[in-house]
Amino acid sequence: HAKPWADSNDFERLDVFNGLLLAAHWDAAFDAGLVTVSPDGVVVASTALLGSSQAVLRFTSTMCVPLQSQHHPYFQWHRDYVFRY
């Protein structure tokens, strides 16, 4: 969930646009605010994400996920309240 379950209402908890299907290590980094997704779908790493962790994730600055307009409010929430800039 981009907007965590605890902070979501019943609709948001079940909304398919409130998240992405991620591998466990990516999900942990996302939940910890170490990575997020920009409005144009580019995956962004926090300055707190160490190089060794970037290597484990195989993170590259060209990673992109296809977002639809319905994703935007949730990922904006993630950037505002979870992501560690």
Summarised one tens digit per residue, pLDDT across range 38-62 is 999 999 999 999 999 999 999 999 9
Note whether 33 and 83 are within 8 A (CB): yes
Instruction: Quote the CA–CA distance of 75 and 1 in Å, as a whole number.
Output: 9
CB 2 within 8 A of CB 33: no
Q: What is the pTM of this model?
A: 0.93
CB atoms within 10 A of CB 29: 23
Query: What local confidence, expressed as pLDDT, does residue 45 receive?
Result: 97
Length of the chain: 85
